[in-house]
Chain A
């Protein structure tokens, strides 16, 4: 009851930050007024009013600059206001959500642009249009979903929307002026690094600097104002090996705020390292024979290993129904979420997900937030203890085993919120310095009867996975001689036969842990859409047994003329 009283006070009297900013105040007023009209009067032919409506308006200012070989390409500053409407008909127990039907690509909330001015009438006019479409589609979907449930004889009843306490929250939006000239200068300098590398055919350094303000209201009385900033610097390059084989790689630096970026000198060193690595790959020998044996995954490679195998499978616990069986794989349900109480990783590993953590050993964590995209306060979840899955990350979509949200309901602005990881922190009880881990790799490879073991230092991201792959191909793969420890870079390797068992085959980890800041993809397998900011804190890992095989990609002809800069 207390919350309800607080809530009404908050709706009538706009609080500090919004009150100071007339634009925010106007947006909230338009959202709340149209939402009230929607829940009280929006009804077509006695088919029922919406029982729940949530509006998310996103104000976005974005600076994007591309650069290549020392020059700037299409710098662009844009501004927009966008509305997402989540509207539910039916009731908490059974509504129009979690059902995609045959509409795989259209399974997303209704959304559209709003005016960017602080114009109450014009904003409400836009909200009305999008809400009307959302309502009609919700009715259609609910009747299709009922028919689906009957035709598939589904008896089990899992509710569609959990009950959660109502909170009102405002965070400072902390916007700063864009330093466009400065970053153009820096990008020219960073992209010019490639002028020293004749082996690279294409290269770019791009900046995407976005400052967003999220306004969230729902018909249960939640109201949230929060920033969602994003500063992304992407280094990418592609080329061909001497035999014509295509090679490419990219590196992202993603932070919430500009001031969290590494110093410029470090960025410059990273570009140099990146260009060197890719150049070295062009002359690296091919993996000749398939490999089965121990594998050491270091740094980013271990981060992607945990992302693609663990994070992707402990997120998305709620199944989305689809009309046709073959489409089920387009909507991923976390492969480990049905294994509560079972061992999912090696016995000496534990993991928690803590959105409240801002940094780890001084490095900012991208997955930090206070309130999720459904207006639920973020909670720390002790996910895995001594290898056993103890809990699940939850949004407001209940599952068979859990009824309530843990404040992990997030999604890209164009998507339904769903349970994502935030800061997934992995800890280990069986650690050693990295050099000893490498010795251990050689020892285990020798026991396997092998002449060499394998170290992987970079993996391609999740969206580079090929069909039916659980783990995308490695980029930087090294043979390690069991006798001498000498490393040889190899190319043309991809994983084979990877299953979630690899997580239980981890035999030791490094003591040092890394921070992997990245975008976790949504559960939509085919499109890879719906990414959210996330972090994994993880050690490097030694896996007892993994397989590599030769890629079957065919090479392309080399460019006819030589690189003009080095001719």
Chain B
């Protein structure tokens, strides 16, 4: 049956050509007028034929229209509408140059979320303007892309302050985060409190949380498509920001005007640098010991765009980022009586990503656009620890001792991908995308080495390497999708994604149909529905709530099957022209072969026997998401509300969790509200406010205590007694709900434009303005009390740990 569908699909496509006789194609790039930066998802619409399209990730568009009079209208959020009228008689290249509204000091900027809003067939997706992301007040004033996405309906954060994403009831490893089309495996800095994406380097962010177009695959729950700035082809400019915990810069400009541009962004925290004086003081005060320790993270984004010709472009983009903890300690004590005792310790702990992509964009014909790419991505984690002890006894050489110890731990994942994709617009009613790719995965699970060389009064030599062998896997995917217009009312995106995964003598494959449909009831109101089947071949072994560098990606095995999900969704979309976009979406998702840790199991970087620590089961997630978004005028932002439920069932023979009874997922939350408002009071001042409220997370508590079986115990020293342990009775997993989470953040920007050169912005922010003590962790403990009569007693209490109180922040940005 599946083969018949594929055949029918290609049969229809092959017969388009005869329909094209009276049509001509308009194509070209849509660019920013000042920087020549391509604009992604800009809308091109012919008012005569009422047909439209949007630009792709390279800013390229192609629309095939009947010959005759054309009234072309191009719109993009934050830009002034560009319009052109002409008579179409032959294939025509129209490069559209759009002017930023800010540049013209215009207030009313028309835009359209055509593809994701009322007009488009796509649902469950949203573009978040990067300027809005930068303005959202955040922890320590660090603008954060993932934290901005967490404010959208259907997306939840993990614990307080974390950059983990849980989309429509899925887990954190079910999100595909792409930088210029290349996956990033570890998206967190500082144990998950910040994400690796530097907003200064980002041009466009699109989040898909359902109804995935066929070009995406490999994860169950979401796709975050992040596109980096290409670089200004006309002039040099940039910015420098100094914030509370980090400093960053962004520079871009032409290397060869209108031919070759660059864009470089960097960010680094400097807590370690600021702590250096403290280290020096400690070292100076304690003459016998020296210490140098610190933590930092950095990101570096670089991109070169070379315009070979009007038809060809080469783009080389690179990202690298690391977190690092280091410590060097020395201790030396010398006395004439005892001798010399010295010790050195060195710790180097580093983890991070490298993502590189070389793309070739070619306009093969006005109707056909090609994007070929070679991609490389890796996540690596290295821990090195060394220790040297020298003891020289002044009185007895037999007591002399020398010990040198070195230990290392390494793990990671590396992918190499070759991919080619095409955009083909044969008729006004069809926008076809097809392509395929091959990925070679190298999973490097944990490898530990240890070397010990001890001589003197204690002799021991160890030189050993342990760990798991590298696992190689081959993944292949092909897809085809057609975004087709069926009359003036219906539009649908229908596609197929086929993928294979070969690993260790196992071969898995999956044919995944995708469908999105729209019925345009009025020009401002549409109804949409869709279906997506997704498959995922890799898992992340993680210790739940906090992102740790030890999180390890592993492939499916003979026993652990690929995860898959079916998602159906439907929605209503309404647009108040130039005022507000409203949407209400409902979804129902089933997930299969999910993995969950067994009771008591944990993962701390050792993948040995990981299959024995997890069980496979099923999951359900369903909910309703409401979004009112305003992208125009002085006041922008959104109000989002989500009602959702996410459940798990692990009832397979030998794979039971919670006695085979359904239980709520870890981040199952019934209500989630977020309000984000940015108001521009003047050219000099704008204010952003964010308020979030959500139902508390679930956790597992033993609500009754009881005694277990008695057993004879023998202590180390000749004691034998009967002992019955005190145990906790846990009625079910995730049986307790934490207190609700809510928080208000505020950010104020003070801008000033210097007459001679550049401009500056002071940003003052307050995170958690009313100092709400939100739950990070709940546990039982004891509280000592005094009864006033000389008696102290201890009572057992429930305690909540909160980690982020009110936190002010300030940053300074200079733009030139």
Real complex partners, A and B?
no
Spell out A's residues near B (CB within 8 Å). none
